[in-house]
């Protein structure tokens, strides 16, 4: 099939590449000229394991193309996927849909034969209705069908998640579109993905409900970790003991820093805003948002306790600054609030991240980036393990640091308490 992905970010690029790998002809379009130029040269704009080889393979065999010409790409395609960003509104908590509606206005001037237009972006319930209205102002309804097909991939596991999804959700009441899309996804269905056809509004809500539920699971275990710290109980035992119950499941049940990233913070806010608009109080999700917002302050307090409130001139090393491991995404990472707060108190921050230096901390006073993990930790008073990259899992801290009184705050519970005790390292973890 001939596909066009509008927006070549984490979702548009990964799903575009994977669709091309399944044998479709795909044009990935973006308004960012530099991004498209780079992609044509084989330079991948994001860190995603395995993505570069897959791009190269499909670009070389001509099934994958990159372009900034939206009109041309749409006229050559049967199915158009909208994959642009839906961030939180600048002065509000709802989703900013300006990128979505701009695309809808751009698309409508290029439709002369039947097209399926799909929102893969995460959009609030009734957005599909709005897109349909915008396009139908210029195009006959017979020539297009608006479908919701939310994406559930995770950064860092995106290719695997796209290729072996638990489910494919198609929100449409059009039989024609449903048949075409079931055919498009047939290779994934044959590998075990469940195919769900529901109403467009239901599909839009499934995505928000799923993200809000996962955010709730993380927040639930984070709050329990606070209790475990008071009662001398190991939160890991609780996670295992709960997670083995099939009704609960062990994933997203590991205590750590506040959840971040490009999805959970914005999507939890957006779903509560939608519910408020329809006069429904999603009080559980509202409480999750509040608890998560407090989490970084709470963890900072622990940092202050660990350093006995003597923060001035303390050398603090962050291992990992993205919102989680295996991604370069800094959006809503808890480091974005923790590092500035520590600097304000006089700390000197040095960080190492396997995905390199971050523009968010470039030219910030008292924040430096180390290219080498051993150099990053060498002079530290406190090492904060913020993400759980494999690179951080077997560091010999005794050898790597020159400060004999170095302290470690392991926010991902990577290391064992007993091993650290044996090495006489001052070690602090979460909920243990
Ligand atoms: P992103 O910011 O990485 O990428 C969006 C891209 O769209 C950018 O490259 C931007 O230049 C481009 N764009 C914006 N307007 C355009 C236009 N008019 N024409 C062409 N290109 C345009 O965003 P993302 O992380 O890929 O997320 C996209 C959507 O998918 C969001 O709604 C998000 O919530 C959802 N989603 C994201 C993830 C994830 O892990 N990142 C997972 C599932 C769903």
Each residue's pLDDT tens digit, 34-59: 999 999 999 999 999 999 999 999 99
Q: How far is CA 260 from the centre of its chain?
A: 8
Question: What does pTM read for this prediction?
Answer: 0.96
**CA atoms of 351 and 321, how far apart (whole Å):** 7
Q: Pick 126 or 404 by higher pLDDT.
A: 126
**CA atoms of 397 and 384, how far apart (whole Å):** 12
What's residue 263's pLDDT? Answer: 97
Bridge partner residues of 95 (DSSP): 88
Q: Which residue has the tokens 């939206």?
A: 70
What's residue 265's pLDDT? Answer: 98
Query: Mutual orientation of helices 10-21 and 51-60 as an angle, nearest 10°?
Result: 50
Q: Is the CB of 86 under 6 A from ligand 1?
A: yes
* Residue of minimum CA distance from atom 4 in ligand 1: 9
Dihedral sign computed on CA atoms, order 413, 417, 421, 422 = negative
- Provide the terminal-to-terminal Cα distance of the chain, rounded to the nearest Å: 53
Q: Is the CB of 99 under 6 A from ligand 1?
A: yes
Measured in Å, residue 8 CA sits from the centre of ligand 1 at 7
**CA atoms of 38 and 425, how far apart (whole Å):** 46
Dihedral sign computed on CA atoms, order 58, 60, 66, 71 = negative
Q: Is the CB of 84 under 6 A from ligand 1?
A: yes
**CA atoms of 83 and 102, how far apart (whole Å):** 12
Tokens of 302: 């622990």
β-strands 367-369, 426-429 pairing: unpaired
Measured in Å, residue 263 CA sits from the centre of ligand 1 at 11
**CA atoms of 422 and 417, how far apart (whole Å):** 9
pLDDT digits (tens, 9 = 90+) for 11-22: 999 999 999 999
8 A C-beta contact, residue 415 and residue 384: no
What's residue 289's pLDDT? Answer: 98
Split at pLDDT 50, 70, 90, the class of 236 is very high
**CA atoms of 354 and 127, how far apart (whole Å):** 38
Split at pLDDT 50, 70, 90, the class of 415 is very high
* Residue of minimum CA distance from atom 1 in ligand 1: 9
Ligand 1 atom nearest the C-alpha of 35 is 9
Split at pLDDT 50, 70, 90, the class of 370 is very high
Q: Which residue has the tokens 């939160």?
A: 235
Of 241, 295, 338, 314, residue with least CA distance to 430? 295
What's residue 242's pLDDT? Answer: 98
Measured in Å, residue 328 CA sits from the centre of ligand 1 at 15
Tokens of 191: 């590998």
Split at pLDDT 50, 70, 90, the class of 358 is very high
Dihedral sign computed on CA atoms, order 410, 413, 414, 416 = positive
What's residue 96's pLDDT? Answer: 98
pLDDT digits (tens, 9 = 90+) for 262-275: 999 999 999 999 99
Tokens of 137: 């102002």
Q: Is the CB of 10 under 6 A from ligand 1?
A: yes
**CA atoms of 125 and 203, how far apart (whole Å):** 8
Count of residues in the chain: 432
Measured in Å, residue 111 CA sits from the centre of ligand 1 at 22
Q: Which of 84, 128, 148 most suits a substitution to test ligand 1, by most atoms within 8 Å of the C-beta?
A: 84
What's residue 25's pLDDT? Answer: 98
What's residue 62's pLDDT? Answer: 96
Split at pLDDT 50, 70, 90, the class of 182 is very high
The per-residue DSSP string of 42-58 comes to: T--SS--TTHHHHHHHH
Mean pLDDT of the chain: 97
β-strands 25-29, 64-67 pairing: parallel
**CA atoms of 204 and 95, how far apart (whole Å):** 13
Q: Is the CB of 9 under 6 A from ligand 1?
A: yes
Q: How far is CA 120 from the centre of its chain?
A: 14
Measured in Å, residue 153 CA sits from the centre of ligand 1 at 13
Split at pLDDT 50, 70, 90, the class of 107 is very high
* Residue of minimum CA distance from atom 14 in ligand 1: 84
Q: How far is CA 157 from the centre of its chain?
A: 10
State mean pLDDT over 167-185.
Answer: 98
Q: Is the CB of 103 under 6 A from ligand 1?
A: yes
What's residue 345's pLDDT? Answer: 97
What's residue 211's pLDDT? Answer: 98
Q: Which of 11, 80, 264, 326 most suits a substitution to test ligand 1, by most atoms within 8 Å of the C-beta?
A: 11
Measured in Å, residue 128 CA sits from the centre of ligand 1 at 17
Of 290, 295, 289, residue with least CA distance to 225? 295
Element holding 42 (H helix, E strand): none
Catalytic, 263? Answer yes
What's residue 332's pLDDT? Answer: 96
Give φ, ψ of 294 to 5 degrees: -80, -15
What's residue 188's pLDDT? Answer: 98
* R_g of the chain, CA atoms, integer Å: 23
DSSP state of 108: G
Cβ neighbourhood burial of 345 (10 Å; 0-12, 13-18, 19+): middle
State mean pLDDT over 412-428.
Answer: 93
State mean pLDDT over 71-75.
Answer: 96
Give φ, ψ of 313 to 5 degrees: 65, 10
Dihedral sign computed on CA atoms, order 265, 266, 267, 270 = positive
| Candidates 4, 83, 263, 335; catalytic one | 263
């Amino acid at each position: 099939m001939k596909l066009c992905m509008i927006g070549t970010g984490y979702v548009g690029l990964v799903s575009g590449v994977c669709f091309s790998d399944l044998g479709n002809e795909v044009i990935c379009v973006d308004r960012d000229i530099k991004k498209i130029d780079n992609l044509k040269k084989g330079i991948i704009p994001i860190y995603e394991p395995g993505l570069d080889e897959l791009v190269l393979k499909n670009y070389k065999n001509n099934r994958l193309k990159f372009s900034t010409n939206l009109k041309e790409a749409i006229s050559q395609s049967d199915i158009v996927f909208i994959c642009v960003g839906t961030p939180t509104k600048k002065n509000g908590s709802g989703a900013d849909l300006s990128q979505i509606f701009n695309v809808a206005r751009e698309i409508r001037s290029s439709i002369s034969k039947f097209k399926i237009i799909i929102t893969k972006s995460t959009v609030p319930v009734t957005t599909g209705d709005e897109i349909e209205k915008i396009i139908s102002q210029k195009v006959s309804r017979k020539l297009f069908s608006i479908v919701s097909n939310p994406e559930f991939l995770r950064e860092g596991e995106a290719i695997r998640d796209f290729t072996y999804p638990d489910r494919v959700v198609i929100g449409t009441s059009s039989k024609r579109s449903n048949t075409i899309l079931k055919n498009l996804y047939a290779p994934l269905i044959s590998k075990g993905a469940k195919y769900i056809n529901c109403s467009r509004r239901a599909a839009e809500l499934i995505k928000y409900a799923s993200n809000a539920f996962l955010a709730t699971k993380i927040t639930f275990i984070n709050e329990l970790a606070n209790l475990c710290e008071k009662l001398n109980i190991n939160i890991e035992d609780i996670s295992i003991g709960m997670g083995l119950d099939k009704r609960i499941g062990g994933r997203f049940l590991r205590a750590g820093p506040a959840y971040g990233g490009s999805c959970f913070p914005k999507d939890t806010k957006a779903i509560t805003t939608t519910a408020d608009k329809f006069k429904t109080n999603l009080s559980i999700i509202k409480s999750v948002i509040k608890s998560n917002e407090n989490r970084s302050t709470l963890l900072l307090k622990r940092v202050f306790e660990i350093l006995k409130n003597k923060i001035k001139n303390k050398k603090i090393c962050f291992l990992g600054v993205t919102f989680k491991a295996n991604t370069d995404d800094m959006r809503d990472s808890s480091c974005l609030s923790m590092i500035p707060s520590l600097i304000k108190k006089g700390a000197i921050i040095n960080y190492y991240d396997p995905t390199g230096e971050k523009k968010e901390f470039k030219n910030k006073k008292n924040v430096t980036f180390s290219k080498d993990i051993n150099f990053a930790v060498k002079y530290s008073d406190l090492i904060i393990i913020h993400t759980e990259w494999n690179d951080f899992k077997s560091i010999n801290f005794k050898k790597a640091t020159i400060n004999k009184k170095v302290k470690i705050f392991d926010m991902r519970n990577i290391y064992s308490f007993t091993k650290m005790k044996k090495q006489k390292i001052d070690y602090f973890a979460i909920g243990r």
